[in-house]
Amino acid sequence: MPVTPLVTTQWLRDNLERSDLVILDASFHLAATQRDPREEFRQVHIPGAQFFDIEYIADPTTDLPHMLPTDNDFIEKVSALGVGNDKTIVVYDACGIFSAPRAWWMLRIFGLENVHVLDGGLPKWQAEGHPVTDKITKPARGTLTGALDRSKVYDLDAVQEVVNGAPGLILDARGRGRFTAEDPEPREGMRSGHMPGAKSVPLCDLLIDGCYRPLDELKTIFTEAGVTPQTRAVCTCGSGVTAAGVALALTLTGHDDHAVYDGSWSEWGSRSDTPIATGAD
């Protein structure tokens, strides 16, 4: 059984036939890429994988992108993928490490424990010559129970409290140019910049060739950003996807006191009543 949130491609290859294994393709792409992750899944995926659609497993009542669903909606949609509390779950995506941590985070905060991310994702899997297929299998519905751990999720009010001095350090996973406002936001009409007091920790800085950096390098990055053992880290990004990648990196280093701001910049940057800072942190 894996002892960390990450599994290697070799571990997955060696355990591909396990009866208790559920593999989830949680690929997601920004609109500007003009890529369709579900169609790509139909064409090529790891054998036995199911498609975890973060746009579908989401709250349909809000205009904000892929916000967390209700407990009942989560259980209904995720159990249909074969996910159960008795399963070993491995999540991957088509970019290496991009959106898979979002699915990992969702599964974890809804109560599942044995959840892992494939380090390097589909690109590393294919580069090493492991099997892929276009055959889609229908799983038996999983036996799933759970409820959202709200201590791991921050909303607008909670983040505003941190900006106003409440305990917490905001870690922003967006690219540094978006953080400083030198680069425009990809969503039209969105203000540029960052939440006052936030620190820039781009997800891409935590990775090498689509895999997480060694633990000592991750620890150095977080230490330089101001994370201490006593820090309550609040991870944010553009829409709550790459923020989960920072949360996973924190978990890898043994720092479990963290939450994700689900609305992220899609919410904060689209309002007129939230303060914004520009320039370096």
Q: How far is CA 216 from the centre of its chain?
A: 21
Tokens of 173: 């996973």
DSSP state of 45: B
Closest CA relative to residue 92, chosen from 114, 118, 53: 118
DSSP for 214-278, written as a single string: PHHHHHHHHHHHT--TT--EEEE-SSSSHHHHHHHHHHHTT---EEEESSHHHHHTT-SSS--B-
Instruction: Give 191's Cβ-side CA count (13 Å radius).
Output: 17
Active-site position among 95, 211, 235, 237: 237
Alpha-helical (H) ranges within the chain are 9-14, 37-43, 71-79, 100-109, 121-127, 156-163, 176-180, 215-225, 242-252, 264-268
Residues 30/99, Cβ–Cβ less than 8 Å: no
Catalytic annotation present for 237: yes
Active site amino acids: 237
